[in-house]
Structure 1
Amino acid sequence: MNRPDLDDARRAARDLGGARVPRHVPVSLERALGRVLAVDVRAASHLPVVDSAAMDGWAVSGPGPWRLVGSAPAGVGPDQACAVATGEGLPRGAEAVVRLEAGLVDQGMLHAPAPPPGRDVRPRGEELTAGEVVLARGSTLGPARLGLAAAAGADTVHVVVEPRAVLLVTGDELVDSGAARPGRVRDSLSHLLPPVLHDLGADVARSARTGDDAATLRDVFAGPYRSTVDLVVTTGGTARGPADHVREALRDVGARTVVDATAVRPGGPAVLAVVPDGPVVLALPGNPLAAVAAVVTLLAPLLDGWLGRPDEPLVDLAVPAGAGPVPAGGGTRLLPARLVPGAREPVLLGHDGAGMLRGLAEADGFLAVGPDGRGRWLPLP
């Protein structure tokens, strides 16, 4: 079987997301944090609106010394000065600003070294010009961008409606409380995956446990979720053993498979498919580290494309000696790692087996080591 490599799998997932037709709604700036812009934000006016003082001091005209005028509704003439505060519009005729700490006032006259024209002046439109695109669609709205939108005159912004998702964790061997015991494993994915999906941009409508037999999975893919959600994420049943029924159930409902396993370890057995007139399905492996590895491999680019976020290339990183040899079978290995400021290579955290979580708990992301030994960085959400 020819499995796509990391780049091809991510490209296929992004293309699938980009082909979906997202909805968008207007929201107030107070409700827009973390949302993705669907429509460009344009400046409603110049910023500054007029030439303005960049410092507290005096607006002056001519080389000085300057005669102080209390107010200047008609502007300042040659060798006149008028007190101004930071951000205040300059009177007509002003050529520069003398900083407060640089001037000396004596008998109604301001004495200071003559500033060059334009000193400590913010020209009209220095930061924004009316009609200019200040935030492009696809931008994620963090605090500074919300501040810029407000400065540009926006009261509301149009944001993409996040795909509505359901997470279904399968596995009869899972227990909901207490410690693991022979034949029984504590369910960690119900706690781990919902916030990960949310941080990547999915609206998790529901998270539940369900059976992993073929009949139950057929109902999941073709039943009530078919018309109520945009994305179904399942865990488990993606291997090719006798107890793994995801592929069978997807075939039975006529789903189109986009990615049928990848040449990435862990997480390789993940399946990405589309149910006719229904949701996108991402079937993750049941092992915790493998599930998260498949999320960063497939779900992150899928949602980037869906929401219109820019395609960020993976950053090259040096591979530490402790990464071990390139596997004989080829493919890409994902190793939990942490970035340390100033270091030229990431710190590998070990505990990188498919069923482990300890390394992931300390990680910032995965170091992806390709079959050519090249290292690249996949950040965790």
Structure 2
Amino acid sequence: MQKSWAEAYATARDSAKPLPGEPTPVGAAAGRVLAAAVRCERPVPAFDNAAMDGYAVAGAGPWTIRGRVLAGAVTGGPVVTPGCAVEIATGAPVPAGTEAVIPYERCAVDGGVVSAGRPERAHIRRAGDSLAVGALVVPAGRTVTATVVAAAEQAGAEQVLAHRAPTVTLLVTGDEVISDGVPGPGQVRDTFTGLVTAVTARAGGVLDGRRLLPDRRDLLDAALREAGTDVVVVSGSSSAGAADHLHELLSAGGATWLVRGVACRPGHPQALAVLPDGRWVVSLPGNPYAGLVAALTLLEPLLTALAGRPAAVLPCAPVSGSPKLMPGGVRIVPAEADGTLIGAGSVGLHAAANADFLAVLPGDWTPGSPATLLRVP
């Protein structure tokens, strides 16, 4: 079931549907995607208010000042009658009877009497001028940003219907892997947790749990069964060696394989499967750079789809260098923003750490030709 890199990426992108929407407090919905449109629940503005600092007046001038209204005042204050004026601040509710607000700079005040020419504009923002109740604030499908939150709150929304953020469990396998401290002989530090956390968050998901597992079939089997998240990511145990149990366990458990090997270097053993209960399993090769490639190829587009976000449009730009290509597949190489390729092996992450993108180079690529680019997390 080996696929081309483009087929594997498209499979991860297109196989999942957005998770159901759930009522979510507006302030807690940031970063999630709207499953339903937000509509105005309170007119914007909510009440008639002054658009300028000045005097609220009625009738012809001059006007005798009868009071003052500041922003935050309750409605039902002084009533403006012909020949009277009420000093008013921007945003303050206009008193009943007001015909116009005359800005300070157009007024002359002497002994409590305001004189000014008849204003050309009323300088009053009427209730509902911007949005009436029921009007569309933000359509479904939009990612909730800080501005979306502010607009929804201004329109009186307390909750929105947002797609549930996909949850992820990470299982880091390998007798040699430690989570902290200085590695001893034959040991390596876990480099997957930070990468998977970043890719998950960027795609709109949440890393809900992480476990380090030795290379034991029974422990991996139990961990797969116990993971209650939408997606289970397994690093290592992805090949066919004596310590690689994942494929055997998934097949025995009735998983449906969508991707089982990708024609790319590095990252060939990556895989994507669906368990009978609907949970997704993403298999990342144990080599750190190959695992990063797989996370960007399978995990990120899968989580993006589950989160309800629109599929990313991958940039394509000319790149230059002299990497070793892969006939019949793609070579994935770190690249700087200016298109310069940086050499890297399947283990080292240092080149990717100094790169802005990973360039996907087909077997017939030539220096200076365009390549698909994956953004480095």
Which TM-score band (shorter chain)?
A: 0.7 to 0.9
Contact preservation (8 Å) 1:332, 1:368:
no
Give yes or no for the alignment of 1:156 onto 2:153.
Answer: no
Residue in structure 2 matching 1:354, options 330, 346, 349: 346
Contact preservation (8 Å) 1:60, 1:66:
no
Task: Name the residue aligned to 1:224.
Answer: 226
Distance 1:153 1:249, change over 3 A: same
How far apart, in 2, do the equivalents of 1:68 and 1:296 lie?
A: 71
- What residue ranges of structure 2 are gaps of 5+ in the alignment? 68-76
Task: Name the residue aligned to 2:213.
Answer: 210
- Post-superposition, which runs of at least 4 consecutive aligned residues in structure 1 deviate over 6 A? none
Match of 2:318, SS state, is: coil
1:322-348 CA-to-partner distances (Å, cap 9, x unmatched) read x4468352655544456xxxxxx4476
Residue in structure 2 matching 1:26, options 23, 26, 38: 23
How far apart, in 2, do the equivalents of 1:333 and 1:68 lie?
A: 82
Contact preservation (8 Å) 1:36, 1:138:
yes
How far apart, in 2, do the equivalents of 1:67 and 1:12 lie?
A: 73
Task: Name the residue aligned to 1:40.
Answer: 37
Give yes or no for the alignment of 1:374 onto 2:373.
Answer: no
1:121-177 CA-to-partner distances (Å, cap 9, x unmatched) read 545434333112323344433333222221111223334333343211112232344
Contact preservation (8 Å) 2:260, 2:270:
yes
How far apart, in 2, do the equivalents of 1:104 and 1:367 lie?
A: 67
Task: Name the residue aligned to 1:329.
Answer: 327
How far apart, in 2, do the equivalents of 1:380 and 1:115 lie?
A: 58
TM-score, with normalisation over the residues of structure 2?
0.78
How far apart, in 1, do the equivalents of 2:331 and 2:235 lie?
A: 20
Task: Name the residue aligned to 2:73.
Answer: none
Distance 1:105 1:367, change over 3 A: farther
Distance 1:286 1:101, change over 3 A: farther
Distance 1:182 1:49, change over 3 A: same
Task: Name the residue aligned to 2:70.
Answer: none
1:213-260 CA-to-partner distances (Å, cap 9, x unmatched) read 555544444x333xx332211001324556544333322222111122
Contact preservation (8 Å) 1:293, 1:334:
yes
Give yes or no for the alignment of 1:86 onto 2:85.
Answer: no
CA RMSD of aligned residues (A): 3.6
Paired residues in the alignment total 362
When structure 1 is superposed on structure 2, of 283-292 and 349-358 the one drifting more is: 349-358
Aligned residues: percent identity? 36
How far apart, in 2, do the equivalents of 1:106 and 1:332 lie?
A: 82
TM-score, with normalisation over the residues of structure 1?
0.77
| 1:1-381 matched pairs, under 5 angstroms | 3-6=3-6, 8-18=7-17, 22-59=19-56, 67-70=63-66, 82-90=86-94, 97-107=101-111, 108-111=113-116, 116-117=120-121, 120-180=123-183, 183-194=186-197, 196-212=199-215, 216-221=219-224, 223-225=225-227, 228-239=228-239, 244-316=244-316, 318-321=317-320, 323-324=321-322, 327-329=325-327, 331-336=329-334, 345-346=337-338, 350=342, 352-361=344-353, 365-371=356-362, 373-380=369-376
Q: CA deviation at 1:284?
A: 0.8
Residue 100 of structure 1 aligns with an amino acid whose one-letter code is Y
Match of 1:234, SS state, is: strand
Distance 1:68 1:370, change over 3 A: farther
Q: CA deviation at 1:191?
A: 4.3
Match of 2:16, SS state, is: helix
Contact preservation (8 Å) 2:50, 2:94:
yes
Match of 2:11, SS state, is: helix
Residue 319 of structure 1 aligns with an amino acid whose one-letter code is P
